[in-house]
Amino acid sequence: MWARAVWLGLRASAGGRRGFPSKAAHQGSRRVTAELIEHLERLALVDFGSQEAVARLEKAIAFADRLRAVDTDGVEPMESVLEDRCLYLRSDNVVEGNCAEELLQNSHRVVEEYFVAPPVCLFGEIYERN
Amino acid sequence: MATPMLRWCCPGRRWIFAGIGGGSRHGRGVPTGSTSSGKKGQSSVAQQPLITAQKPRKGEREWAAVVGLEIHAQIASNSKLFSGSQVDFAAPPNSLVSFFDASLPGTLPVLNRRCVEAAVMTGLALDCHINRKSLFDRKHYFYADLPAGYQITQQRLPIAVNGSLAYSVCVGKRWSQMVTRTVGVKQIQLEQDSGKSLHDNLRSQTLIDLNRAGVGLLEVVLEPDMSCGEEAAAAVRELQLILQALGTSQANMAEGQLRVDANISVHHPGEPLGVRTEVKNLNSARFLAKAIDYEIQRQISELENGGKILNETRSFDYKLGCTVPMRDKEGKQDYRFMPEPNLPPLLLYDSGSLPTGADPQQVIDIDQLRERLPELPRVTREKLVRQYGMLPEHSFALLNEVGLLEFFQNVIKETRAEPKKVTSWVLNTFLGFLKQQNLAVSESPVTPSALAELLDLLDRKAISSSAAKQVTDVKKGNPRAINKLIGLVRRATLGRADPTVIKEVLERQLSS
């Protein structure tokens, strides 16, 4: 079963695949490199912590790779599953807001009526510490 | 606050390239077609008009700069792009924030019709092709003022594409030497604004105000058809006037309603385009040209000294007057674009394709919007030149100051004096006076009626023009001038008018 998945994964199909260019590792290899893990950790603010987590990621990719078994040659990709729904247009009236107190209750720290966040430069550093 | 006159004219400051003798820009003719120089970073040969030096030193070659702009304009709407909270510049922090704006779980975006109309109108005014179907996407990045962790934008298929923007610049030293240039409009897209972060370095924290989070923005992407700061500033200025005329954005840079990012690179003419840098935080009309020219100069100096240009993001430091690198080099940002799963495609119609029996509230008819488009600045100027015989640069000056055109037209209505006289008085004496006193037209102590009256007197030769100019002296608070005026009027009426009556009449007129 997994062997078949690997074989399908190696058939990197270009036909029918459109949308955003992706950097993910489905160039046929299911090995996820340390570089990619670092990149993902920074982008998605997740912590892969252990080798087990990386293995889980690889399995998830393999699972999704089974989509390649579907022949999509000549089939127009959908925009989204909502593409034939009607997009509702709202009138330009003010009907919300004025609930600062309620919203601020969600925040760990507030200063006067501002949310408090760590200083911006730390965002990058948080990931170096891990 | 009065805006500087004819800011986009280049009053004599010329391009000086490092290592090349300072030369004046030679006439580049009047290219009115859009000269797209192709995508940045790809090896295509640019077809830019040249910036030539008068006498390049032996062995040195000319440089050409390529400038593209990304302009973000806040849409003038009552409520935000995807939620019903209010759009306002000054309000208590976090008071204009809905649950959706704060990205609380379970909230969904609901598109504001007014924002779509604003985008279509702007697209029509810039001669764009309006996409009958456009799509919304998520652009992911983490920042404290972006509560959702992504911005809803239109990356795959924006609402409008392939337009053009015509603007005018001065060539040569005289203001009357104006030429029209065109810059291509690559696309216009709808997107969300982020909140505001205030950095408190003392206490090592950032304060977040989400009032601005979710406000509708029009991103207008201008092709890299411009070649210097002056052209970029002129294009931005014209876009500002268009947005204001349409009412789609107040486009006030000081209030953050219009923000500009520039993409700048340099190369030798005939060679491939150079590596570009992005300069952000150009939020002042005054410094826009300066910042772009500085960056061009910096790149040229760097390359001439054998260095390389990094594909980086820089920021303009207003105090130092230079660009500085902005982010740490961590490689190119990966925004992980994906379709916005909560919004179907945006479909627009025209008179030919309107679905029958549709709720008018739920459909947008492009043709209807086209019919209702207000008069564009370019057309207004052409009319002024035709109707009043004024020079093109006068028409620019009249439109360049808020309220000035209306003032001018009111004076014209009430006076018998010739339009050319009115033009001259309004643009020279009146505007000069305002500038000196640092007043906006709306704050002027002189009303259109008063000026009209004055010009009538002048026209009837009841007073001399020097006497008329003294009226402004009186306005500035010099009461002795009024006595001089009384004397003149008396003489004009051959001594028959009663001085006290004259004084009364004049005082009444002057105090109105």
Provide the pLDDT confidence category of residue A47 given band limits of 50, 70 and 90: confident
Q: Which residue in chain A is spatially nearest to B75 when comparing CA positions?
A: A92
Q: What is the pLDDT of residue A22?
A: 44
pTM of the model: 0.79
Residue B305, CA distances (Å) to B298, B299, B420 in order: 11, 10, 54
pLDDT value, residue A23: 41
Residue B347 has pLDDT above 50, yes or no: yes
For the record, the structure tokens of B403 come out as 């309220």
Distance CA B331, CA B322 (A): 23
Look at the block and give the residue holding tokens 């001439």. B304
Q: What is the mean pLDDT of residues B217-232?
A: 96
Q: Which of B202, B206, B209 to mutate to test the interface with A (most CBs of A within 10 A)?
A: B206
Dist CA B445 CA B475 (whole Å): 7
* Alpha helices per DSSP H over B60-130: 113-125
Nearest CB to A116; choose among B99, B207, B343? B207
Q: Please give the Cα distance from B281 to B260 (Å, whole number).
A: 7
Cross-chain residue pair A97–B93, CB shorter than 8 Å: no
Choose among B95, B236, B79: nearest CA to B165. Answer: B236
Min distance B205 CA to chain A CA atoms (Å): 4
Q: Are B67 and B232 in contact (CB under 8 A)?
A: yes
- Nearest-angstrom CA–CA distance, B88 and B279: 27
Predicted pLDDT at B13: 32
Beta-carbon pairs below 8 A across chains A and B: 156
**Cα(B267)–Cα(B299) distance, rounded to whole angstroms?**
10
Reported as a pLDDT band with limits 50, 70 and 90, residue B70 is: very high
Search chain A and give the residue with CA nearest B82: A90
3-class state of residue B383 by DSSP: helix
Q: Exposed (0-12), middle (13-18) or buried (19+): which is B415, by Cβ within 10 Å? A: buried
Q: Is the pLDDT of residue B316 over 60?
A: yes
| Per-residue model confidence (pLDDT) at position B6 | 24
Least confident segment among A95-109, B6-20, B238-252, B494-508: B6-20
Q: List the single range of B64-73, B171-180, B301-310 with lowest mean pLDDT.
A: B171-180
Residue A42 has pLDDT above 70, yes or no: yes
Q: pLDDT band at A69, cuts 50/70/90?
A: very high
Instruction: Search chain B and give the residue with CA nearest A38.
Output: B330
Q: Give A16's pLDDT tier (boundaries 50, 70, 90).
A: very low
Q: Which of B10-19, B243-252, B479-488 has the lowest mean pLDDT?
A: B10-19
Which chain A residue's Cα is nearest to B208? A115
Query: Contact A42/A25 with Cβ under 8 angstroms?
Result: no
Q: Which residues of chain A have a CB within 8 Å of the CB of B199?
A: 119-120
Strands B178-192 and B216-226: antiparallel
Write the single-letter amino acid at B257.
Answer: Q
Query: Which of A104, A114, A121 should be substituted to probe chain B, the one whose Cβ sees the most B Cβ atoms within 10 Å?
Result: A114
Dist. CA B123–CA B144, nearest whole Å: 32
B438 pLDDT higher than 70: yes
| Model confidence at B429: pLDDT above 70 | yes
Q: What is the mean pLDDT of chain A?
A: 75
Six-digit token string for B300: 């040229």
Question: Is A18 a residue whose pLDDT tops 60?
Answer: no
Q: What is the pLDDT of residue B118?
A: 98
By CB atoms closer than 10 A (0-12, 13-18, 19+), residue B167 is buried
Chain A: residue nearest B94 by CA? A100
pLDDT tens, B275-315? 999 998 788 888 999 999 999 999 999 999 999 998 889 99
The SS3 assignment for B275 reads: coil
In chain B, how long is the greatest CA-to-CA distance? 86
Predicted pLDDT at B308: 92
B382: left (phi over 0), alpha (psi -120 to 50) or beta: alpha
Mutate to test the interface with B, among A80, A95, A111, A123 (most CBs of B within 10 A): A80
Of A104, A112, A118, the CB nearest to B205: A118
Q: Which residues of chain A from 7 to 66 reach within 8 Å of chain B, CB to CB? A: 19-20, 23, 39, 42-45
pLDDT of residue B298: 95
Q: Lowest mean pLDDT: which of B67-71, B331-335, B343-347?
A: B331-335
Contact present, B505 and B454 (Cβ < 8 Å): no
Q: Which of B93, B96, B338 sits opposite A114 (nearest CB)?
A: B93
* CB pair distance less than 8 Å for B344 and A84: yes
So what's the pLDDT on residue B447? Answer: 87
Task: Choose the most confident range, by mean pLDDT, from A29-33, A66-70, B121-125.
Answer: B121-125
* Cβ(B209)–Cβ(A112) below 8 Å: no
pLDDT bin (cut points 50, 70, 90) of residue A11 is very low
Tokens read off for A36: 């990619």
Q: Are B479 and B466 in contact (CB under 8 A)?
A: no
Q: Which two tokens stand for residue B325?
A: 């690198």
DSSP tag of B50: P
Q: What is the mean pLDDT of residues B30-41?
A: 36
pLDDT, position B460: 79
**Do residues B119 and B218 make contact, with C-beta atoms less than 8 angstroms apart?**
yes
Q: Is the pLDDT of residue A40 over 70?
A: yes
pLDDT above 50 (res B334): yes
The more confident residue out of B131 and B50 is B131
Q: What is the mean pLDDT of residues B69-74?
A: 97
Q: Which residue in the set B77, B208, B340 is minimally distant from A92, CB to CB?
A: B77
Task: Tell me the residue type at B181.
Answer: R
A-chain residues near B96 (CB < 8 A): 97-98
Q: Mark yes or no for CB contact A97/B95 under 8 Å.
A: yes
Q: Using CB atoms, which residue from B207, B337, B346 is nearest to A111? A: B207
Confidence class of residue B54 from pLDDT cuts 50, 70 and 90?
A: very low
Q: Which pLDDT band, with edges at 50, 70 and 90, does B233 fall under?
A: very high
Residues 94-113 of chain B with CB under 8 A from chain A are 94-100, 102, 104, 110-113
Tokens 């910036």 identify what position?
B51
Place of tokens 């020279």: B428
Banded pLDDT at B246 (limits 50, 70, 90) = very high
Sequence-separated (6 or more) residues with CB below 8 Å from residue B151: B138, B139, B141, B191, B192, B194
Q: Hey, are the CB atoms on A90 and B113 less than 8 Å from each other?
A: yes
- Residue range B118-125: mean pLDDT, rounded: 98
Q: What is the pLDDT of residue B196?
A: 93
DSSP string over B140-154: E---TT-TTSEEEE-
Interface contact B112-A92, CB threshold 8 A: yes
* Contact check, Cβ <8 Å, A112/B93: yes
- For B369-382, how does the pLDDT look when each residue is reduced to its tens digit (9 = 90+)? 999 999 999 999 99
| Whether the Cβ atoms of residue B339 and residue B135 lie closer than 8 Å to each other | yes
B144 at interface of A, judged by CB pairs closer than 8 A: yes
| Residues B17-24, mean pLDDT to the nearest whole number | 36
